[in-house]
Chain A
Amino acid sequence: MSETVTKAAAEAVVAAQVTGTDPASVPATTGARQFRRRLRTQRAALVAACVVALLVLVALAAPLLTALEGQDPTTYHPSLIDSARGGVPVGPLGGADGDHWLGVEPQTGRDLFARLVYGARVSLGVALAATVFQVAIGVTMGIAAALGRRWVDQLLSRITDVFVALPLMIMSLALLAIVPASFPRPVLVTLVIGLLSWGNIAKVVRAQTLTLKELDHVSAARLSGWGPWRIARRELLPGLAAPVITYAALLVPQNITVEAALSFLGVGVKPPTPSWGQMLTAADVWYQAAPQYLLLPAGALFVTVLALTVLGDGVRTALDPRAASRLRVGTGRRRENKAAAAAEQGVSS
């Protein structure tokens, strides 16, 4: 892909969702404190953070929760489904009762609550682990391209371009089909997402590093006599933290969606391991007999992605309040005016 547009695209992604933080404008040590304060001022982000925390807790405590219910996600309950009617759950509310809090899966009779809770594990686990891969590869490639010699930059940028051009869903769809089923699927999905989709973050990191590199304080550190390692560690990396964290916060919900989509298509996480996307595969057939079989995983996905997106917006705002003010809920003329007034104040003080 041509350089201009990938650059522009990466920038637009940055523009649409992430923030290239002005490296010089972030006062840091006080940063952590300031960050928490700014995060706290956003009610929506705070609620989202609570939701995410709850989801993580549920995922971690999945065995505990299912033990409490007295079920597990893989046991079939043929007695709970009506095979004469094609396998719909027996009883009202899709078979929900004291034993099976949210009912059972059509056809198999597996416990829905247990599958939902274990599904959270898979969704969050895969998304987070894939994000770690993406960030690790992206940051390494981006920094290497920005700091390397001209030909290193050329080479790495080309490679990055190609990876940006590869359609992630298509590639992972195809890749996942070829690897033998014996390979643990969640790990495989993680690897595929992580290894294929690091292009944009590499571009963001490269651009940011190039900007940082030109800052006078980096030159000053060179003049002080420090070597490249120390300069990278003390002067460059801290400046990269804000955009990388912001971008990573954006990648998590994206990865959740991709994992769900792959599992929905039947090539991602495969049964018996539960996954929200996979649960939706057959949901349309059963929506009349067992609506919660559709609504629960869809709702879980929606809430999770929404919470993570809002939290990501919040993180961005906290790290770069100026830019993010335009994306936030309820931003408007009043806030814009305030900002204008503040800018004016900056000019005149």
Chain B
Amino acid sequence: MSRLSALKGLSSLSGLSGLKDINGLRGLSGFAVLSGFGGFLVRRAVGVVLTLFAVSVIVYVVFYVTPGNVAQITCGPRCSPEQVHQVAQQLRLNDPLYVRYWHFLEGLVAGQDYSTGTSVEHCAAPCLGLSYQSDQQVTGLILTKLPVSLSLVFGAMVLWLVLGVGTGVLSAWRRGRPTERVLTAVTLAGTATPVFVIGLILMIVVCGELQLLPFPQYVNLTDDPEQWAWNLLLPWLSLALIEAASFARLTRAAMLETLAEDHVRTFRAYGVAERSIIARHALRGAFAPVIALNANNFGSAVGGAVLTETLFGLPGIGQELVHAVNVVDLPVVVGMVLVIGFFVVLANAVADVLYALADRRVVLA
């Protein structure tokens, strides 16, 4: 079975054959579909919460039980055993893991007070703890870095969807012509170039050799939208190109798959022009797979964002994470991984709903 028909086959095998029975036996009113969709939204929302919970447990457990003496690392290599012990005490490292996790959850929901020796600091509701290194609140730290990362990822997402789907449509339309061959070769090369290689080359060529743009410096969107966009252009491109390549491949494949389907034959047999068939029917068939791939690739794109931030020196979450990782600042690491996980899970849930809207049959499947 071909890839996409496998894809559709799965949904149609599981979905449609069952559907046929349901249809035949009960009939489907518009209302049933609607209430089905409401139920679907609720189920998905519950799913998001459960997944987040599972992710937090895994992250917490993994980070706090991995080999390596956190107190020793935090304190520094020259600390004496007494000092290490003191640090461990202070960081509650001697409590059982579940107690610490409970505290962590408590802080997340209700906030928490931390004594930093001299004063007591209150860490408000979604409290992710204090940094071992700077005693700064992790939540606040993340909030200052978040706009940069969001600008980067969502800007790049728009770019890769437009570029990728556009290229895919173009090569499906010009199939068999030189245009398509060139595009296919370019997208193949695109999928084979790691983000940081593209980024390095772009930076060296555009900023270094040609001096078309200055080396990127992050400017707030609210301060100066134009500068914001110019400065993010290269990071966006380096992050988007590789993703765009796989979207181009998927779009093209999905459209060609649809073009080979029976219903396209129907519209051809009724004199509908090839242009409308491509624009209306073939492209529509690529919606659902594109949404699904976007959900899937969001996680890897976030990984790519870390690389991009590091490479271009953008003060986002990724750069901070790399820093925290290097100094083993566990609360910061755990907090950031959770926040990133939250966005990935959320993006998936949104994609899930969009997917269901794009293909109503899944709601019933």
Contacts and interface: CB of A to CB of B under 8 A. Distances in A.
B200 A283 contact: yes
B201 interface: yes
B176 A336 contact: yes
B295 interface: yes
B32 interface: no
Contact of A16 (B250, B260, B325): B250
Interface in A1-41: 1-22, 25
B194 A178 contact: no
Interface string A246-278: 000000010001101100111100000000010
Given A20-B7, A323-B3, A12 B293 contact: yes
A60 interface: no
Interface stretch (B89-97, B115-123, B131-139, B298-306): B298-306
A310 interface: yes
A39 to B, nearest CB: 18
B156 to A, nearest CB: 15
A175 interface: yes
B49 to A, nearest CB: 11
Interface string B288-330: 1111110110011011101100110000000001100110101
A280 interface: yes
Q: How large is the interface on B (under 10, 10 to 19, 20 to 34, 35 or more residues)?
A: 35 or more
A12 B176 contact: no
A8 B311 CA distance: 33
Contact of B51 (A1, A320, A326, A340): A1
A17 B82 CA distance: 56
A327 B257 CA distance: 11
B300 A284 contact: no
Interface stretch (A66-74, A146-154, A159-167, A228-236): A159-167
B188 A310 contact: yes
Interface in A125-168: 158, 161-162, 164-168
A261 B194 contact: yes
A305 B197 CA distance: 12
B19 to A, nearest CB: 15
A171 B7 contact: no
A8 B362 contact: yes
Contacts of B289: 8, 11-12, 15-16
Nearest to B203: A284
A158 B57 CA distance: 14
B55 interface: yes
Interface in B12-44: 13, 43-44
B203 to A, nearest CB: 7
Given A169-B300, A173-B325, A287-B208, A11 B189 contact: no
A215 to B, nearest CB: 12
Q: How large is the interface on A (under 10, 10 to 19, 20 to 34, 35 or more residues)?
A: 35 or more
Contact of A173 (B2, B3, B322): B322
B43 A2 contact: yes
B293 A167 contact: no
Nearest to B72: A180
Contacts of B256: 326, 331, 336
A207 B10 contact: yes
A309 interface: yes
Contact of A326 (B2, B177, B304, B334): B2
Nearest to B196: A264
14 contacts: A7-B10, A15-B289, A16-B253, A19-B6, A20-B3, A167-B344, A257-B194, A261-B303, A283-B200, A329-B185, A331-B175, A332-B177, A333-B176, A336-B175
Given A13-B296, A167-B303, A277-B196, 5 more contacts: A2-B48, A161-B51, A298-B197, A305-B194, A329-B181
Which 4 A-B pairs have CB atoms at the shortest separation, nearest pair first? A169-B303, A332-B176, A20-B6, A333-B176
Interface of B: 1-7, 9-11, 13, 43-44, 47-48, 50-51, 54-55, 58-59, 62-63, 66-68, 70, 175-177, 180-181, 184-185, 188-189, 191-197, 200-201, 203-204, 208, 246, 249-250, 252-254, 256-257, 259-260, 288-293, 295-296, 299-300, 302-304, 306-307, 310-311, 321-322, 325-326, 328, 330, 333-334, 336-337, 340-341, 344-345, 348-349, 351-352, 355-356, 362, 365
